[in-house]
């Protein structure tokens, strides 16, 4: 690693500048020096354009806060009914002016209608989408190092997933940045009017107990840095503490000039496999003993800025 | 789970109010109803006084910020030289008035001398304490569900650890709240003048690459909610963004009346085993499908307030 400007040692890890939800800018003023072989930077530099996919604006949600924009990619392959609910809710402006009401350290940030007064344009129940069948058409990329919680772990369509192939079941995993659908005790009580994002160590015990509808691909730092609530489960004690949600829109409802162009590295690509390998065995100069292994929620899912396609 | 006051569904998990670093108050105004059998609350309610240990004031460090007090328990069993360095540094007032200079989302908060101008009362190098021998005198409590990164995982003296028993090696694990010792590329460059705390998903790739000196037992929410830095690796761009450290002291240097009385559930106790089981198989009403498994960094390490012993 490079020394910090002050010359003080740091825990370093230059490559970790690209964190789980980091955005890689695609334009540089000067050609940078080539990254060290075997690093994530080298894997990304060697990637081909066709290994990246533009985020589909019909599956991309912008949540605008005073502090900036949080961008979510939804996973209708795993939660199609929730996807439909969110299309209805967002199109109706349901979330606009609501607030983030709960921030529980090392767990979740949660938002919705704190006062429960807003009209809800969807049904009061929704079938649980906690897991789905492991059908042959799913492009599953396996991780090689196993998983404490499930027989299989890997990625489908850019999302971290776990599964039991023998039982024919697969589900979205609660990794950092996962977007979940709050529910009450009844399995069908999560409809999408209350949502949360994971901000701490992966709470995998939630897997198969609640619907994961997508993941935050940009702006996690805006959610994770919010003050923790002082009440039980991290709820804010008073209304003024709540964080206002200015507006929530699907990208396809936003004028092209106002969209945030993003593309994600395909998790079924050779370059993604190289990224995984670069993180299993860190070859950055700072590391003395590469782990040789990686867990599901430590794998970066690279997303970078791109131009906006004309509509 | 209990409904939120508004009647809105939540991702819930009443028992998770006791998070990894949560503090359990030991005095209640009214006798609470008995917690549901099999829950962590029930395990804690049934614990015996001798299963708790008061934090040793000679191993307990208070870092006072404007926002409140962060309390660290040090692990001289794993990092004895670093412990000695920190005794020297803290006694000399080294950290007083320095600052938190780096907050990298889903990774670490780091503090030290941003300007590198302060006199350092210890040597410029310190032998690495990345791992140690797995000697017979260590009271190791094994976790039953395996670990992606190491042959064994569990707890020693209240700290999450991983190890390779066959190779006779054991080390502190980078879980949420771990206190690490920043270093430059040289293995012996971490002396304790630059420290960090883990604020995201466990960066286990750091294990065996850097000295872990202890863990934060109270006040993690003060560190984890700090604004992320905009520069590479999360460094703050400007001096005013830095977060001032008012004062750092060992508890044994603090007048008794100003100490924070804390005790931790012994990780070699029957009640801790009951806590682990309660979290492997959640019996809170909200859960529909208990995981039946748990990973090292998801295990809560209960700490509660206690009276201060007379010196």
User: Per-residue confidence at B34, pLDDT binned at 50, 70, 90?
Assistant: confident
Q: Report the percentage of chain A scoring pLDDT > 90.
A: 86
Residues B63 and B106 placed together within one structural domain of the fold: yes
Distance from the first to the final alpha carbon of chain A: 43
Residues B207 and B224 placed together within one structural domain of the fold: yes
Average pLDDT in the B152-169 region?
98
Residue B21 has pLDDT above 60, yes or no: no
pTM for the predicted model, two decimal places: 0.91
Residue A47 has pLDDT above 70, yes or no: yes
Distance from CA of A197 to the nearest CA of B (A): 10
Residue B162 has pLDDT above 80, yes or no: yes
Query: CA–CA separation, B77 vs A83, rounded Å?
Result: 51
Determine the residue of chain A that is closest to B14 in CA distance: A233
What's the farthest any 2 CA atoms get from each other in chain B? 59
User: Per-residue confidence at B218, pLDDT binned at 50, 70, 90?
Assistant: very high
Distance from the Cα of residue A201 to its chain's centroid? 14
Bridge partners of A60, per DSSP, are A73
User: Per-residue confidence at B284, pLDDT binned at 50, 70, 90?
Assistant: confident
Residues A177 and A114 placed together within one structural domain of the fold: yes
Residues A44 and A185 placed together within one structural domain of the fold: no
Helix (H, G, I), strand (E, B) or coil at B72: strand
Residues B123 and B157 placed together within one structural domain of the fold: yes
Count helices and strands in chain A by DSSP H and E runs: 4, 17
Query: CA–CA separation, A76 vs A83, rounded Å?
Result: 6
CB B107 within 8 A of CB B58: no
Distance from CA of A189 to the nearest CA of B (A): 7
Residues B154 and B266 placed together within one structural domain of the fold: no
Q: What is the pLDDT of residue B33?
A: 80
Q: Which run of H or of E encompasses B154? A: strand B152-156
User: Per-residue confidence at A290, pLDDT binned at 50, 70, 90?
Assistant: very high
In a domain? residue A8: no
In a domain? residue A1: no
Q: Report the percentage of chain B scoring pLDDT > 70.
A: 89
Bridge partners of A142, per DSSP, are A154
Residues B120 and B243 placed together within one structural domain of the fold: yes
User: Per-residue confidence at A33, pLDDT binned at 50, 70, 90?
Assistant: confident
Record: contact A286-B209, CB cut-off 8 A: yes
Q: How many CB atoms within 10 Å of residue A157?
A: 20
Residues B243 and B278 placed together within one structural domain of the fold: no
CATH of the domain at B83: 2.40.100.10
Helix (H, G, I), strand (E, B) or coil at A233: helix
Kindly report, residue by residue over A250-270, the tens digit of the pLDDT: 999 999 999 999 999 999 999
Residues B101 and B35 placed together within one structural domain of the fold: no
Q: What is the pLDDT of residue A34?
A: 85
- The average confidence (pLDDT) of chain A is 91
CB A126 within 8 A of CB A89: no
Distance from the Cα of residue B2 to its chain's centroid? 29
Q: How many CB atoms within 10 Å of residue B62?
A: 22
Residue A46 has pLDDT above 50, yes or no: yes
Kindly report, residue by residue over A133-167, the tens digit of the pLDDT: 999 999 999 999 999 999 999 999 999 999 999 99
Residue given tokens 């929620």 in the structure block: A297
Distance from CA of B112 to the nearest CA of A (A): 8
Residue of B239, B243, B247, B244 lying closest to B96 (CA atoms): B247
Residues B31 and B79 placed together within one structural domain of the fold: no
DSSP alpha helix (H) spans, A193-294: 220-224, 270-280
Residue of A201, A108, A21, A295 lying closest to B176 (CA atoms): A201
Average pLDDT in the B238-262 region?
97
CB A302 within 8 A of CB A293: no
Residue A247 has pLDDT above 90, yes or no: yes
Residue of B169, B166, B181, B177 lying closest to B296 (CA atoms): B177
Beta strands across the sheet bearing B159-164 = B132-133, B169-172, B159-164, B152-156, B140-142
Question: Which site among A1, A3, A4, A17 would you substitute to test the B interface, given the most B Cβ atoms closer than 10 Å to its Cβ?
Answer: A4
CB B63 within 8 A of CB B216: no
Q: What is the pLDDT of residue B8?
A: 47
Average pLDDT in the A118-146 region?
97
Residue B120 has pLDDT above 60, yes or no: yes
Q: What is the pLDDT of residue A307?
A: 84
Record: contact A12-B233, CB cut-off 8 A: yes
User: Per-residue confidence at B151, pLDDT binned at 50, 70, 90?
Assistant: very high
Q: Which of A89-103, A226-240, B15-29 has the lowest mean pLDDT?
A: B15-29
User: Per-residue confidence at A5, pLDDT binned at 50, 70, 90?
Assistant: very low
Average pLDDT in the A183-207 region?
98
Record: contact A285-B185, CB cut-off 8 A: yes
- The average confidence (pLDDT) of chain B is 91
Distance from CA of A310 to the nearest CA of B (A): 31
Record: contact B233-A108, CB cut-off 8 A: no
Q: What is the pLDDT of residue B29?
A: 60
Residue B155 has pLDDT above 60, yes or no: yes
Q: What is the pLDDT of residue B109?
A: 98
In a domain? residue A310: no
Its domain, for residue B25, covers 14-54+262-305
Q: Report the percentage of chain A scoring pLDDT > 70.
A: 89
Measured CA to CA in angstroms, residue B247 lies from B70, B119, B141, B143 at distances of: 11, 16, 35, 37
Record: contact A204-B108, CB cut-off 8 A: no
CB B228 within 8 A of CB B240: no
Q: Which of A243-247, A305-309, B189-193 has the lowest mean pLDDT?
A: A305-309
In a domain? residue A7: no
Residues A185 and A284 placed together within one structural domain of the fold: no
- Kindly state the tokens that stand for B281: 């198989």
Query: CA–CA separation, A235 vs A137, rounded Å?
Result: 41
Q: Which of A29-33, A77-81, A88-92 has the lowest mean pLDDT?
A: A29-33
Kindly report, residue by residue over B79-92, the tens digit of the pLDDT: 999 999 999 999 99
User: Per-residue confidence at A81, pLDDT binned at 50, 70, 90?
Assistant: very high
Q: What is the 3-state secondary structure (H, E, C) of B179-238?
A: EEECECCCHHHCCCCCEEEECCCCCHHHCCCCCEEEEEEECHHHHHCCCCCCCHHHECCC
Q: What is the pLDDT of residue B301?
A: 98
Identify all chain A residues contacting B182, using CB atoms and an 8 Å cutoff: 8-12
Residue B20 has pLDDT above 70, yes or no: no
Query: CA–CA separation, A103 vs B225, rounded Å?
Result: 10
Each residue of B258-288: b (16+ CB within 10 Å) or e?
ebbbbbbbbbbbebbebbbebbbebbbebbe
In a domain? residue A5: no
Residues B213 and B95 placed together within one structural domain of the fold: yes
Residue given tokens 């709540």 in the structure block: A242
User: Per-residue confidence at B10, pLDDT binned at 50, 70, 90?
Assistant: low
Query: What is the tally of structural domains in chain A?
Result: 2
């Amino acid at each position: 690693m490079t020394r910090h400007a002050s010359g003080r040692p740091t825990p370093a890890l230059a490559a970790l500048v690209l964190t789980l939800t980091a955005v890689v800018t695609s334009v540089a003023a000067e050609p940078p020096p080539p990254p060290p072989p075997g690093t994530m930077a080298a894997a990304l530099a060697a990637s081909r354009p066709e290994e990246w996919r533009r985020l589909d604006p019909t599956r991309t949600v912008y949540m605008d806060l005073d502090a900036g924009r949080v961008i979510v990619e939804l996973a209708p392959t795993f939660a199609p009914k929730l996807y439909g609910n969110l299309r209805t809710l967002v199109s109706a402006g349901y979330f606009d002016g609501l607030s983030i009401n709960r921030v529980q350290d090392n767990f979740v940030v949660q938002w919705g209608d704190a006062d429960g007064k807003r009209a809800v344009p969807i049904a009061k129940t929704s079938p649980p989408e906690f897991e789905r069948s492991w059908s042959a058409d799913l492009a599953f990329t396996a991780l090689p190092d196993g998983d404490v919680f499930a027989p299989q772990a890997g990625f489908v369509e850019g999302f971290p997933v776990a599964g039991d192939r023998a039982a024919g079941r697969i589900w979205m995993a609660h990794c950092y940045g996962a977007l979940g659908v709050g529910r009450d005790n009844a399995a069908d009580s999560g409809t999408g009017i209350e949502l949360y994002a994971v901000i701490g160590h992966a709470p995998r015990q939630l897997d198969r107990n609640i619907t994961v509808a997508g993941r935050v691909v940009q702006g996690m730092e805006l959610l994770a840095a919010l003050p923790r609530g002082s009440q039980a489960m991290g709820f804010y004690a008073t209304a003024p503490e709540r964080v206002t949600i200015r507006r929530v829109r699907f990208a396809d409802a936003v004028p092209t000039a106002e969209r945030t162009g993003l593309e994600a590295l395909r998790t079924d690509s050779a370059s993604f496999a190289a990224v995984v390998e670069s993180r299993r065995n860190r070859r950055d100069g700072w590391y003395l003993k590469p782990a040789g292994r990686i867990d599901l929620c430590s794998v970066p899912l690279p997303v970078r800025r791109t131009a906006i396609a004309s509509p």
